[in-house]
Structure 1
Amino acid sequence: MNQPTSILFIALTLIAGGLRADEFVDAFRNPPDASRPGVYWYFMDGNQDRDEMIADLRAMKEVGIGSVLFLEVDLGMPRGPIPFMTEPWQDNIAHAFAEAGRMEMEVILGTGPGWSGSGGSWVKAEDSMKHLVGNSLKVTGPAMLDEILEIPPPHPANHFAGMNAVHESERNAWHEDVAVIAFPTPAEETATIDQINIKTLKDVQPYSIRRTLQRFVASRADYTEPDKSSVIDLNQVIDLTSLMQPDGRIRWSVPKGEWTVMRFVSRSTGQTTRPAPQTGHGFETNKFDRESYQRHWENFHAKLIKKIDAKGGPLKPGTGLTTIHLDSWEMSSQNWTAGFREEFRKRRGYDPQPFYPAYTGLVVDSLERTERFLWDMRKTSQELVLEQYAGVIKQIAHEHGLLYSNEPYDMNPAGDIDLGSVADIPMCEFWNAPHDTQYGCIEAVSISHTMGPQVVKAEAFTSSEDAFAKHPANMKNQTDWALAIGINGIVFHTYQHQTLGDKEQPGMTMGPYGVQWHRNQTFWRFLPAYHEYLARCSHLLRQGEAVADILYLTPEGAPHIFEAPEDATEGVTRMRDKKGYAFDAVTPRILAMRARVEGDRIAFPDGSKYRVLVLPDVPAMTPESLATIKKLVEAGATVIGNPPVKSPSLVDYPACDDEVSRLAESIWGGAEVPEEVTRIERGKGEVFWGGALAPSSGLFPSYLTTESILFGLGLPEDFSSPSGKLRYIHRQTEDRDFYFVANRTEERVDTEGIFRIEGRQPQLWDPVTGTTRQLENYEARDGMTTIPLSFEPYQSFFVVFPKSNSGNDRANVAIENFPTLKNSLQLDGVWDVAFDPVRGGPADVTFDRLQDWTKHPESGVRYYSGVATYRKRFDLSTPDVSDDTRLYLDLGTVHDLCRVRLNGHDLGVVWTAPWRVDIASAVKPSDNQLEIDVVNGWANRLIGDLQEGDRGVREVTWKSGLLDGKTFSAGRFSFVTHQHYKPASPLLPAGLLGPVTVLVESSAETP
């Protein structure tokens, strides 16, 4: 890679935006390429065609896609002729990546085959993720023990391990001895630890799929201790490791009494790349060992980079291969590696070996000490993942002039926020259906706001339902939710490589997954308008810093997934919006590393500033974290929460608990929690604590309680609306504040927006059209500005407050911010409509009135998918039209998108409300020729081709070897590699439903 150029790109990417006023507006109207949306570019196990890869890229470029994230998977589709990592495969990939650079597009490369993790067929069991496992032998002394200790079996592989018979054989054949210990067998039945699999990181499953799973391990202040006769005596644990021979035989003179001998070995977890192409399917690398990932890099990334460089570098910075990406964490966890004992000693200050029985669920010395040891083990594991894996990916990427992006969810052993904090570009994922991963989006945004990266990307609209039913209009609401939550880089899931070309459509799919964002989609050439909207919003939402008031501190330890109090958000599943006091989350690690106090705000370099820090309701916190809180309070911070009483760790025990008590006393003044919320001044800051702050559920006090404290501090909500139907996000630069405000309902909303800004003239910036104008009607007082606002269904605006644009306390209320449009002419009657016969529609048909295609008696219309052109002539009979009159053509209801032409003038694509275009520059007094291209998605044709007479009437095959050269049954007008519908599936509304009207704005002004 071109290292100096790419390093420059890294610097440019990480620096906060600081545009001049004129540049700010220009960049909104014409957003830079870096803000354009991207796609996951998925390939299906060797089904690759060099020419079609370039055709994919050109099609992306034409519609405003700026980047591709490359991954190859195996989802059960027949294999293609170019297996993963073969020479032809590498040559094709290098060629495509180089061509993308020449097209000035960005390429992001996954960390390995499959969509999760980093590994491959080159990773051996000894280099894979590892567990410490043990088994027991009971002996009675005095006696001479002389036998071979059995090798402990691996821990059962988790559901997502994905091993085949070869992997399982390799896993079972490998082990590495760690230790042999002995201890007096407890007299009573040995006590055990509950929830042992998650506490020992043996099996950590995706929380998004199984929401009933734990999302963190709670530490306690008190434990119900088992009888001493049922626990292992720590003081009598004997190290027998040196007595065991290489074959496992041990000779030991057993002392008098009943003894337990335990052999501990390291075993592979069995986790493999998933769902990887067959020739790339192999073990996951050891996440505790930097050399493991380095070997993986040489076997995968280094080979591709060498070939890409041979093809020629990109034309300018930020194009071609720019980033290495670690996708969602779906590889469970590990708890061991060679050298773990030494790392533990160095980091925690004591020897873990006597506690090894705890790995098997046994209690050593006491339940509390054992739980504290396990906390220390998980803490050490967290640090190793961050340093030896995520940190190494970033380091090597930077050495090659590349960025590192990371989608840290879903229940990883390092904690979501801490793992994501290592990345240059934090990412998340949100689903259209069925999974709810909003928590991961809030986590990624929190990482950006506390760590400083300006870009937060999302794997967007992931779906396994209704894959061909989505289009920009019915994605608008979720689009705006993502933008308002803080995401400013949409990466569509998914663009499936269309290796079969465009002869058979819609063609290749990623099995049942994705919203089919590819060139064989019927509305592909209509997408630039929606993509331009995304680019404008994304660019603006990368400028300056986000404004938020509440900072939630997560508990210490890992794994951990952050979820705010339930009442801190509102809305529907998968699209819950933050309320009027925006919030983020921070981990104790990031707080200690980056937080400082500016005035009465907790601030982060290049990040956000918060009025209050809300503590989790947990009884245990390390002295180090508590010392950080004390330092912030004394410097001026406001903290909400009750004091901890103990440390969760065995480090420096029991003195650590004394230090926690001392620090808590210095902050709260005592350990007895008052019955009511009480305010205490400490240094320059203050603390609120009391019984009412204890949450009824979850970790944090109610949002309403925090809200009342903020209001009492003289801080009103940042944004509110009497309608309760608007969502928002607020960012600020040195010269302006701007709010993205969106209607989250399918109704028109006329309401007021109340902004925590005063003394500035507001402006309205429309990200659909790129237009900007003054808002003349507003009222400013008491630090707030109230503005009358009107929204069409799911419509959104930026309300901008330039600092140089001083305003009056009360502006001209006589001027409407949103002038009323009057109906001047309704285009009723006959429409000529032309469908595409290649898609099964009639070439010319007359509609006596506008109607839903699915209600038409002709099957070619009823099951049609694609573009149909509506034509009509009309005269303009509007007597009040003058030179400054604005005229609009309102289209009423459209399914799904349309392009309008009037008298030969292309007036653009309409894809969302308001469904109208400005026709003033194109309309004539008479004989106007109107053409409207209307397009719907593939669903109806796919359903139609399952009907009797059209189902299975053709056979298709590819002699090139694509899809393993197999023959497939195809419908009369369509072919798809995964059938998403059934013959009885309901048809989706389609066509121009109207009414189509000419609207007049006679009192329009031009600011």
Structure 2
Amino acid sequence: MNIRKIIKISALCFAFGNLSAQNPWPKTNDTAKPWTRWWWMGSAVDEKGLDKQLTTLSKAGFGGVEIVPIYGAKGFENNYINYLSPEWMKMLKFTTNKAKSLNMGVDMAVGTGWPIGGPQVNEEDAATKMIVQTYEIQSNEKFSEKIILKEEKQKSLKTTKLDIITAYNEKNEAVVLTDKVNADGTLNWMPTSGKWTVYAVFTGKTLQKVKRAAPGGDGYTLDHFSPTATKDYLETFDKAFENSNYGVRSFFNDSYEVYNADWTADFKEEFRKRRGYDLSPYIKYLISDNESEIAGRIKSDYRETMSELILHNFTENFTNWAHSKNSKNTNQAHGSPGNLLDLYAAVDIPESETFGSTKFDIQGLKRNLEDINTKEVPDINMLKFASSAANITGKPLISNESFTWLTEHFKTSWSQVKPEAEQIFLSGINHIFYHGTTYTPADVQFPGWLFYASTNFVPENSLWPNIKGLNSYIERTQSVLQSGKSDNEILMYWPVYDQWSNPKGKDMAFKIHNIEKWLHPTAFYENLEKLGKSGYSLDMISDKLIAEAQLENHEIKVSKSGGSYKVLIIPQLTYLPESTLKNILNLARNGASVVFQSQPKDVPGNVEVEKRRNELQSLWRQIPFQQNGNVKSATFGKGKIVLSSDIKKGLELLKIEREKLTDTGLKFVRRQFDDGKYYYIVNHTSKEISQNIPLNFTGRQVVVMNPENGEFGIAETQNNSVRIQLKSGESLIIKISKNGDSSLPKWKYIEKTEEPVVLNQPWNLTFKEGGPELPKSRTLDKLQPWTNFTEDAQTQSFSGTGVYTTSFKLNKKADDFILKLDKLYESANVIVNGQHAGIVWSLPLEINIGKYLKKGKNTIQIEVSNLMANRIRYMDQHKIQWRNYHEINFVNIDYKPFDASDWKVQPSGVDGEIQLIPVYYSK
């Protein structure tokens, strides 16, 4: 082994950690690295192309791929491979074998495009809806019209049937007439008085087909509420896979986007079995926007039934099927008409999704309004539905479909990706999937094949040379966040029945795209926001999970491998099932601490309401509340119950401590491991934070770890506080251990800096790679972007890498030197005296280069990679065909036809000053 390889291996061990005592970083693996959704357009893949792209992804720091076949590119139809055909399965096996050789993992979607469905979904198994027709009947009048389906598209279907017929008079008295209709639709009933409206409910089909389907994947979407439909659907995969999983780590199901699916063939029977009464006499209240109390109660029971059906008939069966293949499953529950917490908890890897761009206060962070969708903003509390279910039930991985439509195509920089990734991590998620990467055959020209809704994490992206900076940061961070288990101290009940009891609408899908309707206006959300910003760590819990919870050392646990919680919060609500209150009181009796924000007002649903309401009130009266300052409290068995409109006061009474570090504006998430705890801390404020911050957990040793470059060292501590230095946009990890390692070095705190050396001498600018053509080289009297040279048309259209080079003499001595860039468009590889010094890809635009400098003459090369935007602009201006796909072809962020020809030239290169700042560390 030569000396260069030894140096390379040493650097890798330093950056990512191993099991040696001198390195506090957890051992890394494929799941610690970011994965990417990998679209196979038309499944037009071959072994050569698969080999090349997997190798490229591996070198760039990816840990795995998630295969999702979609529609294809025009002109390549002869290369299409039908989904799950023998040839397709051969390509899958080649992929998993190649990935294994690269220490990568492979997931795959159980379907093409989305939502789940395909040619194996026959009419009977297809997504189902109720179709309602109404008729007017006068007393003593023979009803001559036949009660048959009027909708033309439904008439030709074999599976449509009449489910319920109920008549209502003007007093809302109901008569169920379902058994009064002949096979030909003739109604054998005549009212003797009054005017009647007849409601006829038919079982129909949505006729929705798979969106963006790949060859061999087209067909109806699935009826998620039918166990038979789920079983039939998965049998197609049983046939294709036989007794193997083909090396697939996890089978993936995308978000539920099945429109108008609000019924199933045996819904009436399932409703009776689960809710204890016949829905038929109440069908009017289900299908109308009548805002009466009974309408809310009927709809609550209907929505709860829908939730149970999708949980038991689809989600749990999907999990069991994946396990039968010795694989895991991944499921996006959001969008489902069900309790998201229960659905996420029922799978191996719960997966959430971010869509759009967040406004951060980070200094210098670019967020151009014309390049973003201002209607879609990721919400950290929406992400917590997935992480909460995983944390409570002890699932080690929580994944996220990340950066969907972060900005307009070709305008996303890695510096914009970083804070979005950090927000995902702060929600408790630890397994990022980029959205995404498109397979491109080797002979397809720039920009390759692209998917219309993604941030383009593709090798053809001109920013690709520096993606390792982003990927390494995510790898180090996820190595910590996948260690041990979550360390949240609070559970907050999600009052889903307040949502389900809304008398408006019918089915209720909890989507990420309408949280302003169902999540934001609630007291539940207000509490999540306030408590999170105050420094409390929370997970959400459902009725079902409360029923499964037990007490262990006065802490609430749902699963042996899951989190332990000090307190359960019941936010202000209207509806609480008496069974849930009973379970809450049992937890308190056994030692739990509980905070109620208000007294529950009522029970949900429409069965034995008065009896259940009395039981709820009787249970509440068992709590012997006493006035305790501004709150009421009660000792209840071995536990304590607090009633307080101000939850913070309730938590203070119970001595639940918040992390006061959030007073500085810092954000954090905490993990516990056998010997201590990790704090992942992020500065999304506009200011530098350099001070001691308090931490609730103390240990023998505190180590600071930098996830951006892998450096670490023993921290300075004082009175349960840790000294930190974080500039705007930076993050760090604090590892607190009960034991510790005395061989670790001290953390390098900057004690002072001296007047910077400004590198304002001439620079040479050359161009290394990119297109459509390399601009000519030039000498610059002052640093500036290459796009400033408007007289050279090639600089305006170029996307790729330009190299700024200069030499300078250094006579000054210091502990270190920080290379600080004023403006960078968009990322840079820095080479000092022929040695790779690192990548500048995120804010602040700084890098430590002292160890590469020498006394006397030094040479610096800054290899700057810009956005793809200018080259795409050039191609559209010159009518160069690059988007030519079936289905949606290609759209912009507003889902309109994409055209970059009128874009402004995006600045590219370096601008302003470059400074070399002498740094002195504390001794």
Partner of 2:396: 454
Shift of 1:793: 2.8
Q: 1:579–1:493: structure 2 CA closer, same or farther, 3 Å change rule?
A: farther
What is the CA–CA distance in structure 2 between the aligned matches of 1:523 and 1:295, rounded to whole Å?
45
* Structure 1 counterpart of 2:754: 822
CA displacement 1:767-804 (0-9 Å, x = unmatched): 1121210112x321xxxx22332212311101121111
Question: For residue 57 of structure 1, what is the aligned residue in structure 2?
Answer: 54
Alignment partner, residue 225 of structure 2: 288
CA contact (8 A) 1:839 1:866 kept: no
SS in 2 for 1:173: coil
Counterpart position of 2:730 = 795
**Aligned equivalent of 1:664, options 620, 629, 642:** 620
Within the candidate set 305, 319, 326, 2:253 is matched to 326
Report deviation, 1:33: 1.8
Deviation at 1:240, TM superposition (A): 4.8
After superposition, give the CA deviation of every residue in 1:100-154 in whole Å (9 maximum; x if it has no partner): 34433222222322233x1113323322122333434455666877x67322456
Greater displacement, 636-645 / 396-405 = 636-645
- With over 3 angstroms needed to count, the CA separation of the structure-2 counterparts of 1:986 and 1:786, relative to structure 1, is farther
| 2: CA distance, partners of 1:583 / 1:956 | 47
Distance change (3 Å), C-alpha of 1:748 and 1:618: closer
Structure 1 CA distance for aligned equivalents of residues 166 and 914 of structure 2: 85
* 1:276 alignment partner, one of 188, 207, 213: 213
CA distance in 2 between partners of 1:361 and 1:388 (Å) = 27
Deviation at 1:914, TM superposition (A): 5.1
**Pairing 1:69–2:88 present:** no
Compute the displacement of 1:852 (Å): 2.0
Corresponding residue to 2:346 among 422, 425, 431: 422
Q: Is the 8 A contact 1:73 1:276 kept in 2?
A: yes
Q: Pick from 298, 305, 310: which aligns with 2:241?
A: 305
SS of 1:608's equivalent in the other structure is coil
Q: Judging changes above 3 Å, is the alpha-carbon distance between structure 1 residues 831 and 257 closer, same or farther for their aligned structure 2 residues?
A: closer
Alignment of 1:549-698 (within 5 A): 549-557=489-497, 558=500, 559=508, 568=527, 578-596=533-551, 598-599=553-554, 605-636=560-591, 637-667=593-623, 677-689=631-643, 693=645
Corresponding pairs, count: 859
Q: Name the counterpart of 1:866.
A: 800
Deviations 1:948-985 (A, max 9, x none): xxx23x5679xxxx8579xx99xxxxxxx998553442
CA distance 1:111–1:152, change in 2 (3 Å): same
Instruction: State the alpha-carbon separation in 1 of the partners of residues 697 and 289 from structure 2.
Output: 59
Taking structure 1 as the reference length, the TM-score comes to 0.78
Paired amino acid for 1:53: L
State the Cα deviation string for residues 489-529 of structure 1 (Å, max 9, x = none): 11111112224x36521232212x21100110112132223
Shift of 1:547: 2.6
Q: 1 CA distance for matches of 2:770 and 2:490?
A: 58
Aligned pair partner of 2:355 in 406, 410, 431? 431
The C-alpha deviation readout for 1:225-279, integer Å capped at 9, x for no partner, is xxxx2x124xxx35552x5443334545776776665543211133332233475
- Aligned mates of 1:29, 1:646 — CA distance in 2: 49
- The residue that corresponds to 1:522 in the other structure is 462
The more displaced of 71-80 and 735-744 is 71-80
Once the two structures are overlaid, the 10-residue window that deviates more, 824-833 or 910-919, is 910-919
> Structure 2: how far apart are the matches of 1:827 and 1:846?
14
* Partners of 1:406 and 1:425 within 8 A in 2: yes
**TM-score, with structure 2 as normaliser:** 0.84
2-side partners of 1:1002 and 1:647: how far apart? 65
Instruction: Name 2:503's counterpart in structure 1.
Output: none
Write the distance in 2 (CA, Å) between the matches of 1:720 and 1:172. 65
Corresponding residue number in structure 1 for 2:266: 339
* Cα separation, 1, equivalents of 2:148 and 2:392: 47
Cα 1:876–1:453 change in 2 (3 A) is same
> Which residue in 1 is equivalent to 2:277?
350
Q: Distance in 1 between matches of 2:108 and 2:840?
A: 34
The CA RMSD over aligned residues, in Å, is 3.7
| SS of match in other structure, 1:100 | helix
1:913-972 alpha-carbon deviations (Å, 9 max, x no partner): 45444445443333433322111111122234455xxx23x5679xxxx8579xx99xxx
CA distance in 1, matches of 2:447, 2:66: 21
Kept in 2: contact 1:171–1:268 (CA 8 A): no
Q: Conserved in 1, the CA contact under 8 Å of 2:713 and 2:748? A: no
* Partner residue in 1 for 2:103: 104
* Separation in 2, partners of 1:172, 1:342: 25
Distance 1:177 1:824 in 2: 80
Cross-structure match for 1:176 = 160
TM superposition shift of 1:997: 3.8
In the other structure, the counterpart of 1:989 is: 907
The question of whether the paired residues in 1 share the 8 Å contact of 2:127 and 2:261 is answered with yes
CA contact (8 A) 1:617 1:642 kept: yes
Letter aligned with residue 184 of structure 2: D
Distance 1:259 1:792, change over 3 A: closer
Aligned equivalent of 1:933:
863
Q: Among 632, 635, 652, which residue is 1:711 paired with?
A: 652
User: Which residue, 124, 127, 132 being the options, matches 1:126?
Assistant: 124
Is 2:624–2:634's contact at 8 Å kept on the other side of the alignment? yes
User: Which whole-Å CA distance do the structure 2 matches of 1:62 and 1:639 have between them?
Assistant: 51
CA distance in 1, matches of 2:296, 2:908: 60
Name stretches of at least 5 consecutive residues in structure 2 with no aligned partner.
1-16, 358-372, 501-507, 511-517
In 2, are the aligned partners of 1:95 and 1:308 still within 8 Å (CA)?
Answer: no
Aligned to 1:162: none
**Partner amino acid, structure 2, of 1:865:** S
C-alpha contact (below 8 Å) 1:133/1:359 kept by paired residues: no
The 3 A distance-change label for structure 1 pair 28 and 332 is farther
Asked if the contact 1:431/1:437 (under 8 Å) is kept, the reply is yes
SS of structure 1 residue aligned to 2:701: coil
Aligned residue number for residue 13 of structure 1: none
Give the Cα separation in 2 of the matches to 1:384 and 1:803: 47
Residue aligned with 1:131, SS: strand
Match of 1:849 in 2: 782
The correspondence for 1:898, drawn from 828, 841, 857, is 828
Q: Which residue of 2 aligns with 1:487?
A: 429
Match for 1:707: what amino acid? Answer: K
Q: CA 1:57/1:503 → structure 2, altered by over 3 Å: closer, same or farther?
A: same
Q: How does 1:378-397 map to 2 (within 5 A)?
A: 378-397=303-322
Aligned counterparts of 2:558 and 2:238: Cα–Cα separation in 1: 39
* Aligned equivalents of 2:555, 2:228: Cα separation in 1: 45
**Percent pairwise identity:** 21
* Counterpart in the other structure of 1:407: 332
Greater displacement, 532-541 / 645-654: 645-654
Matched residues in 2 for 1:136 and 1:903: separation?
Answer: 82
Q: Which residue of 2 aligns with 1:741?
A: 681
What CA distance in whole angstroms lies between the structure 1 residues aligned with 2:22 and 2:741? 18
Note if 1:779 corresponds to 2:715: no
- The 8 Å contact of residues 80 and 964 in structure 1, kept in 2 or not, is answered as no
